[in-house]
Amino acid sequence: MAQTFVFIACAGGGTVDTLGLDPSTGHITPLSRVEGLPRVTALTLDPAGTLYAGVNGDPRRTVPLALDSATGRATPGPARDVPARTCFLSLGPDRRALYSASYHEGLMVGYQVPGEGRAEAEGGPVTEYRSGPNTHSAVPSPDGRFVYTASLGADRISWFPIHEDHAGNGAVVHPAGHVEAAPGSGPRFLRHTADGRRVYVSHERTGNVDVYTRDAETGGLTLLQRISSVEGLGLVPGPVRSPSTPDPGPGVIWCADIRLTPDEKFLYVTERSTSTIAAFALAPDGRLTYLRRSETEAQPRIIAVDPSGRWLLAAGERSNHVTVYAIGPDGELDPVSRAATAADPLWIECWRPSPA
């Protein structure tokens, strides 16, 4: 069975690391590294063979990385400048537009993908919208009709209709609506189910997971369930982080990533103060039941599930390592292999190339 390639953005090292994951055993092996990407924070993958990297050095830019399907080696192509720092990056379902979130600028930005052999530093339309203070994610719906943003500072989730611009690229202009999260909860990352009927949101400051049903026509969200991912940990709600806000230590809630398995049987949420991952089971109606908690890499900002759904990968900001876990029949996580990364790993993408 051909290996799966794993790409990890390492902000401190200024690299995107490529590792090989054996889909039969879960063994992970470092393969290659792209350097010269200062403060690279977010990645998004075009399964056809391009990885897009949000780089927050000077200048701020998005760099396309062409992927070799035999070796996983990533080769940088022509980049384009972007108007704000990137903390989250998504590729639209049409694979022509990118949507980024900027935490410090409070922006959602949409623009066409760079590449196709042309320098893009000044080319192509850009749409900016002030989506709320500390915007932490910008995620298109699977049907490509809306982009959803989470404003951690405003405790708000908004949705923006996607319209075609004059160049045929997906552009957004203004929100169609929003829902208010619990005050002080800090909505951070959100994930759609494959059919787009439900949305799951992690909350950095309280550790809640909110489950929403989604109206495909209007984009509207209706709260179905709110459940804690940190119950029993003895933590208190955390502050809104900023460059001037010191890390208050291990006693506060500091949740980060949220991921569904491809079969949508399980959902996982990371908590960085305790370096743990909470596991939930999904009912047919989308509601969650808490299962268990697992210790993991130090300060796990990001996790990923490989395309087979057999393996969960967790990277530690403070450990500079990634661990692969076998996902058990009841959602349990069993560590099977581990590898070093460059400093400050912040994002993971997995790629299984299509057979030639």
Reported confidence tier of residue 127, pLDDT bands at 50, 70, 90: confident
Q: Which two tokens stand for residue 220?
A: 């509207």
CA dist., res. 121 & res. 78, Å (int): 8
**Residues 93-117: what's their mean pLDDT?**
89
Calpha distance 336→148 (Å, rounded): 35
DSSP letter, residue 238: P
Cβ atoms of 10 and 346 within 8 Å: the answer is yes
Nearest-angstrom CA–CA distance, 74 and 66: 5
42 pLDDT more than 60: yes
Six token digits for residue 23? 């889909």
Mean pLDDT of the chain: 93
Per-residue pLDDT averaged across 90-102, rounded? 94
pLDDT value at position 249? 73
Q: Are 186 and 155 in contact (CB under 8 A)?
A: yes
Cβ-based burial of 313 (10 A; exposed 0-12, middle 13-18, buried ≥19): buried
**Contact between 343 and 13 (Cβ < 8 Å):** yes
Record the tokens describing residue 105, joined without a space: 């600028």
**Buried residues in 329-346 as b, exposed as e (16+ CB within 10 A):** eebebebebebebbebbb
CB atoms under 10 Å from CB of 70, counted, come to 9
Q: What pLDDT sits at residue 356?
A: 63
List domains and CATH numbers for the chain. Answer: 4-351 (2.130.10.10)
Worst-scoring range by mean pLDDT, 15-29, 58-72, 108-122, 126-140? 108-122
| Cα(90)–Cα(46) distance, integer angstroms | 10
Of 59, 57, 56, 54, whose CA–CA distance to 99 is shortest?
54
DSSP of 202-230: EETTT-EEEEEEE-TTT--EEEEEEEESS
Cα–Cα distance measured from residue 179 to residue 159, given in angstroms and rounded to the nearest whole number:
9
State how far the Cα of 22 lies from the Cα of 92, in Å rounded to an integer. Answer: 29
Q: Highest mean pLDDT: which of 110-124, 157-171, 335-349?
A: 335-349
Q: What is the pLDDT of residue 281?
A: 98
Q: Which residue, among 213, 300, 307, has the nearest Cα to 1 in the 3D structure?
A: 307
Report the distance separating Cα 158 and Cα 174, nearest Å.
10
Residues 198-226 as b/e (b if ≥16 CB within 10 A, e otherwise) read bbbbbbbbbbbbbbbebeeeebbbeebbb
pLDDT of 349 reads 98
* DSSP structure string for 65-107: EEE-TTT--EEE---EE-SS--SEEEE-TTSSEEEEEETTTTE
pLDDT at 119: 44
Residue 31: is it exposed, middle or buried by C-beta count within 10 angstroms (0-12/13-18/19+)? middle
Tell me which residue of 276, 313, 314, 268 sits closest to 295, measured CA to CA: 276
Quote the pLDDT of residue 12.
97
> How high is the pLDDT of residue 2?
82
| pLDDT band, residue 329 (cuts 50/70/90) | very high
Evaluate if residue 350 carries a pLDDT over 80: yes
pTM above 0.85, yes or no: yes
pLDDT band at 126, cuts 50/70/90?
A: confident
Burial class (CB in 10 A: 0-12, 13-18, 19+), 228: middle
**166, pLDDT greater than 50:** no
Flag the least confident range among 68-77, 165-174, 250-259, 315-324.
165-174
Q: For residues 194-206, give the mean pLDDT.
A: 98
Is 70 exceeded by the pLDDT of residue 169?
A: no
What local confidence, expressed as pLDDT, does residue 164 receive? 64
The alpha-carbon radius of gyration of the chain (Å, integer) is 19
pLDDT at 354: 86
Q: What token pair was written down for 135?
A: 């915007």
Residue 333 near residue 327 (C-beta atoms within 8 A): yes
